[in-house]
Amino acid sequence: MQQAGSARSEKRNAAGSRTTHPYVGRSVSLATKHGKEEQIAPAFSQRLQMRVEVPVGIDTDVLGTFTGEISRTGSPTETAYAKARLGMQLSGSPLGLANEGSFGPHPALPLLLADTELMVFIDDERGIQVQEMLVSEDVVAAQCTARTFAAVETFLARARFPSHALIVRPEGVLQPDLLFKAVIDPQRLQELITLCAAASPVGLAHIESDLRAHMNPTRRRVLSQLAEQLAQRLACLCPHCATPGWGVVDHELGLPCGWCGQPTELLRAVIFGCPACSYREHHGRPDGLQHADAGQCPFCNP
């Protein structure tokens, strides 16, 4: 819905945005230590003609790690903005960009594992913040425990090893010197399982997917899609004040029933807005549907 609506808005201001867009030729600081610029830079270059630059020496792990040796203290949204600010501070840039991913139950289908990726953009010159989110069911995030390498054959196929890297540590204890990341070699994996099982209080090695972007090709594909989504939104200028970032800010429920006309819980309208001014526009559903089926009406089908 966001992409379709943003495309409509982009067409409306395309004549100006392609030649006078305020971000053309600018650079933006990307806070990452895991090579995310490879997935993010192409969309920003093609859509906005912006350069994505990673500050030298940045360490986003100070804000938390997937493996827990450094705890995340904030929400994913807070962490993403903190990352962007960290990059802006190191680079001195007024424009910042960052991503934060989390793996857990799908927001709409709790029994399904999902990769929820958030990407944020900060522009201190205009005093705006723009963010986009993408939830993907295409996830490679597996884990198991084992005493020997021979016991993980089925698990390795599910974890798509060795194209997707693994992390190995002793089960039941977190020891920084026995936490091995970026494992992609089968012989090395066998050695680490033996080592970590011997060091575990329960005699087991814990093996899990390395979810860092540069170690997980499936996650990288999701980041590329999300970068395109955010860059497309930033390419759209507000029709009222011409600030970048015009896009979906809310949704309105209450699509009327085709029989009785009473509101249902289905989407009725998509609300577009500007990150700088209060201007808003209501757009109909992207699929053009104007009435709900009676089977989805709480009055006709209680």
Q: Identify the CATH number of the domain in which residue 177 sits.
A: 3.30.1490.20
pLDDT score, position 23: 98
* Domain co-membership, 230 together with 247: no
* Domain co-membership, 123 together with 220: yes
Determine, yes or no, domain membership for 295. yes
Omega before 42 within 30 of 0, i.e. cis: no
For residue 248, CA distances in Å to 14, 112, 217, 274, 284 come to: 18, 26, 29, 9, 12
Determine, yes or no, domain membership for 1. no
Residue 183 burial (CB count, 10 A): 20
Residue 148 burial (CB count, 10 A): 11
Per the structure, the complete domain to which residue 249 belongs is given by 241-302
pTM of the model: 0.88
* Domain co-membership, 226 together with 204: no
pLDDT score, position 72: 83
For residue 26, CA distances in Å to 84, 119, 259, 296 come to: 16, 19, 53, 49
Pairing of strands 205-209, 143-146: antiparallel
Q: What is the pLDDT along the chain (302 residues), one digit of tens a residue?
A: 333 344 344 434 433 334 589 999 999 999 999 999 999 999 999 999 999 999 999 999 999 888 888 888 889 999 999 999 999 999 999 999 999 999 999 888 888 999 999 999 999 999 999 999 999 999 999 999 999 999 999 999 999 999 999 999 999 998 889 999 999 999 999 999 999 999 999 999 999 999 999 999 999 999 999 999 999 999 999 999 999 999 999 999 999 999 999 999 999 999 999 999 999 999 999 999 999 999 999 999 87
Reported residue count of the chain is 302
pLDDT score, position 7: 39
Determine, yes or no, domain membership for 153. yes
* Domain co-membership, 130 together with 103: yes
Domain count, the chain: 3
Q: By the 8 A CB rule, do 122 and 85 touch?
A: yes
Q: Which of 72, 114, 111 is nearest to 219 (CA)?
A: 114
187 contacts: CB under 8 Å, gap ≥ 6? none
pLDDT score, position 142: 95
pLDDT score, position 3: 39
Determine, yes or no, domain membership for 7. no
Pairing of strands 205-209, 247-253: unpaired
Determine, yes or no, domain membership for 82. yes
* Domain co-membership, 117 together with 263: no
* Domain co-membership, 27 together with 123: yes
* Domain co-membership, 160 together with 75: no
* Domain co-membership, 94 together with 226: yes
Determine, yes or no, domain membership for 15. no
Instruction: Report how far residue 12's alpha carbon sits from residue 161's, in angstroms, rounded to the nearest whole number.
Output: 46
* Domain co-membership, 115 together with 169: no
Determine, yes or no, domain membership for 2. no
pLDDT score, position 111: 84
pLDDT score, position 268: 95
Instruction: Report how far residue 37's alpha carbon sits from residue 180's, in angstroms, rounded to the nearest whole number.
Output: 24
Virtual torsion, Cα 252, 257, 260, 265, nearest 10 deg: -50
* Domain co-membership, 220 together with 264: no
